[in-house]
Chain A
């Protein structure tokens, strides 16, 4: 079973509009972390935002926010006011394993976002 599921292989959004990239996860670990990374065509992986499982509030970083719905096990990334430079591949990832002390980092398959002028 997939631990991290990103159901949108590709998305389009008009410049200056907001877009939501979906991510659902599966874990039985009570303490876990959720991440979003951006990978532009140049190939580097850029950290965007982090949400801890015990965090009460949704994480925000500039134009990025994470819509964390724990009961639904979803951690959607919201990008506000899209820019052309946001066109990239976006990966959702999870860190679990705090109870065992051996962490597992699992990445989703990614969503390719294209921002249209």
Chain B
């Protein structure tokens, strides 16, 4: 089975541009998570969805960040406008609540560089 798929794997953009990161969770998983990893702040949970509904977005840093999950197989994280401090690796993860242990399967990440 395919794991969590993220695209693009690398993104370089200029400050002020809009950036859209994409994620396809594992089929059948009902939870989807967006994380950001930086050297300074470590791994931070930004937002998560349950059955396509945003449950907790308290980790979203500011209004420039938005996330959507229009269906069970697709989610986006958008940054508009982007700033150099948004440079990080962004991970998407999914999990299946029925499994009981809530193990999260992570995607390969998107390395974002904002110049």
Contacts and interface: CB of A to CB of B under 8 A. Distances in A.
A44 B101 contact: no
A68 interface: no
Contact of A107 (B42, B101, B102, B108): B42
A47 B105 contact: yes
Contacts of A91: 43
Contacts of B25: none
Contact of B106 (A44, A50, A106): A44
A47 B104 contact: yes
**Which among B33, B48, B55, B104 has the highest number of chain A CB atoms within 10 Å?**
B104
A33 B106 CA distance: 17
B79 interface: no
Contacts, number: 45
A43 B33 contact: no
A46 B91 CA distance: 12
A35 B108 contact: no
A31 B104 CA distance: 18
For chain A, the bracket of interface size reads 20 to 34
A45 B103 contact: no
A12 interface: no
Contacts of A33: 101-102
A43 B91 CA distance: 10
Nearest to A110: B42
Contacts of B102: 33, 50, 95, 103
A43 B89 contact: yes
A90 to B, nearest CB: 12
A105 B42 contact: no
B45 interface: yes
A47 B106 CA distance: 8
Q: Which 7 A-B pairs have the closest CB atoms?
A: A45-B106, A107-B43, A50-B101, A105-B45, A47-B103, A102-B56, A109-B42
18 contacts: A33-B101, A37-B106, A43-B109, A45-B91, A47-B105, A47-B106, A52-B101, A91-B43, A102-B55, A102-B56, A103-B55, A103-B56, A105-B45, A105-B104, A106-B45, A107-B42, A107-B45, A108-B42
